[in-house]
A and B are shown apart, each in its own frame.
Chain A
């Protein structure tokens, strides 16, 4: 189980906010709710949150202004923007305002949860200094670009290496197909069918084939996770 996170949801739609508070609670986190930008700004400034989930269109102060203000105050808390606009240029605007991730409505909660968990993790750890990732007996060396399982080298294509690297950096956390598309391929469009699944099954064949304990797991309806044990 991941450590519990404190999440602030800034959303003017009461139903949507109540649903999110409940859903994050069920996922083992604690979520607070602010119904407008000004309240959200105040609560976020008080601090103590691991991640902010901010709707773009908010009463009193819109989402992007709020984020910009918080960043100016030096607040480092990761921010995910939710928006009904959901086009590429809107995403760019969101990121420019200081957000760390962007999710268009309507979204699957599993997608939001996965992104928030990955974002919140980024805050605490100084992962950039890590030169190798280890999950069980699987080891990925970021400097030599070597991957080995139980001491045995596994040859990797560059893209496979990046895919595995991203999964291992977020070991224990579910990553969705869209996250993989964005982070590993830098694609912000929908490639359709099951392209990612095929890449994952190839990767799985390389690292888990013939192993007693598989490490790369599929989470139904959500995505993939690399971890020890089921």
Chain B
């Protein structure tokens, strides 16, 4: 319990709650004190005014009827219910009329309102306090009129009590609330820590809990989860790469080994050895190509190198590539048609974009020629700007890719059954997709009725201010 409590008290949530509680207690106390002081001033002022009115009335009586009349009036007034306090003294200080005694002598200073203690005649011995005002009449008679301060004392009591109750309540609720908030915070943090630990233990599918309240802890959890998603994706990519390497490199490696082994086993002429060695080199060149392609894909997918992006004139690149492949297309009996307006620029990596476009054209030449004699064998290379996007497409009239297969051909090493006998690594479109993502664009496969249209959509480079 001791360490648990210490942990609870140690939380930021607890300290914050407690801090807020102390601050509001101070504020409430201050407010009540302020109200109290002002109420007291108001009460004093009012009493002062009524005392003045009484004195004025009584001094009128004195002017009219002398000391005798005044004595009679004071005497009568002291007997009225809820009476003021009166004390009328003669020149020698003897009491002529009144309902109080024991007033301090200095209270008789003329004309000022002072606070003093007194005793009532009916319950002598009990000290009370009052606000009094003295008035010296002609003939050295002195009249003292006063008002008990019981109301003011009551107000003080009430306000004092209010402060105590309020602060008490705030303390209790504050500490309780702080404990509750801290407990909740600790529970959520514990849940997050637990998730974090199981992620560290290798469960990459695990995510941090999100309460749905949208508070700062939730926001943190959401962004950490997004980070985990990205890491998961990269890990999955890495895993795929190693799976692919394990699976798809075995075939060429086996071929490589077999041909070397066979040449050794059967021996034979110098020419046969030579042929076997040439096959070996050919196979290993193929392997190197696959490795290079995998490396490029992995780099593109990891998102490295975007800081070295430069402006790439896609129009020029596509024009050059079209020119480069035109003889190959002609040899294959196809027409390579380029329709590319000048001046299309993207921010990117020229080598990667060039490699991707080369792969797409190469694919079209390899797989995109119609098998039916006499059908149009055109390969169209087009580029166009749509708002801030650049659409680059390579379209052929081959057999195309069935819709159900379209997302699969973007995976590494995936090849359509129909094309397995043709040369290729099955990495070209994966690289294209990875490079598209690296450039914050996307790769789309559409039908071309008949055929395949591969579209690379890239964000255009921001216009240079000329």
Contact = CB atoms under 8 A, between A and B. Distances in A.
Most chain A CB inside 10 Å of its own CB: which residue of B284, B285, B295, B325: B325
Given A89-B308, A189-B358, A192-B359, A159 B323 contact: yes
Contact of B289 (A87, A187, A190): A190
B371 interface: no
B48 interface: no
Interface in B225-283: 278, 281
Given A89-B305, A106-B288, A221-B278, A191 B351 contact: no
Contacts of A192: 358-359, 362
A190 to B, nearest CB: 7
Nearest to B323: A159
A202 interface: yes
Interface string A111-124: 00000000000000
A189 B349 contact: no
B324 interface: yes
B354 interface: yes
B366 A193 contact: yes
A78 to B, nearest CB: 24
B328 A88 contact: no
Contacts of A106: 284, 288
Interface in A192-221: 192-195, 198-199, 202, 221
Contacts of A202: 327
B121 to A, nearest CB: 109
A188 interface: yes
B365 A193 contact: yes
A185 interface: yes
B403 interface: no
Contacts of A190: 289, 292, 355, 358
Nearest to A159: B323
Given A189-B358, A190-B355, A198 B327 contact: yes
B279 to A, nearest CB: 12
Interface SS, B side = helix
A16 to B, nearest CB: 16
A106 B292 CA distance: 10
A185 to B, nearest CB: 6
Contacts of B288: 106
Contacts of A89: 305, 308
Contacts of B299: 87
Contacts of B351: 88, 187-189
Contacts of B354: 187, 189
A221 B281 contact: yes
Given A88-B349, A189-B351, A195 B281 contact: no
B331 interface: yes
A164 B384 CA distance: 34
Contacts of B327: 195, 198-199, 202
A141 to B, nearest CB: 23
Contacts of B289: 190
Interface in B295-318: 295, 299, 305, 308
B317 to A, nearest CB: 10
A191 B299 CA distance: 19
Contacts of B362: 191-193
A226 B360 CA distance: 32
Interface string A45-89: 000000000000000000000000000000000000000001111
A86 B12 CA distance: 52
B320 interface: yes
A155 B308 CA distance: 41
Interface in B354-397: 354-355, 358-359, 362, 365-366
B312 to A, nearest CB: 13
B358 A191 contact: yes
A86 B292 CA distance: 9
A185 B278 CA distance: 29
Given A88-B351, A89-B305, A221-B281, A191 B324 contact: yes
Contacts of A88: 349, 351
A18 B445 CA distance: 50
Nearest to A196: B324
Contacts of B365: 193
A185 B324 contact: yes
B334 to A, nearest CB: 13
B328 A193 contact: yes
A192 B285 CA distance: 12
B369 to A, nearest CB: 13
Nearest to A191: B358
B355 A189 contact: yes
Interface string B312-347: 000000001101110110010000000000000000
A100 to B, nearest CB: 20
A130 to B, nearest CB: 27
B331 A198 contact: yes
Most chain B CB inside 10 Å of its own CB: which residue of A89, A188, A189, A199: A189
A22 B373 CA distance: 53
A199 B349 CA distance: 26
A192 B321 CA distance: 12
A223 to B, nearest CB: 14
Contacts of A194: 328
Given A187-B351, A193-B366, 20 more contacts: A86-B292, A89-B308, A108-B285, A185-B320, A188-B351, A189-B351, A189-B352, A190-B292, A191-B324, A191-B325, A191-B358, A191-B362, A192-B362, A193-B362, A193-B365, A195-B327, A198-B328, A199-B324, A199-B327, A202-B327
**Which 4 A/B pairs are nearest by Cβ-Cβ distance?**
A189-B355, A192-B362, A198-B327, A191-B358
25 contacts: A86-B292, A87-B295, A89-B308, A108-B281, A108-B285, A187-B351, A187-B354, A188-B351, A189-B355, A189-B358, A190-B289, A190-B292, A191-B321, A191-B324, A192-B358, A192-B359, A192-B362, A193-B328, A193-B362, A195-B324, A195-B327, A198-B327, A198-B328, A198-B331, A199-B327
Interface of B: 278, 281, 284-285, 288-289, 292, 295, 299, 305, 308, 320-321, 323-325, 327-328, 331, 349, 351-352, 354-355, 358-359, 362, 365-366
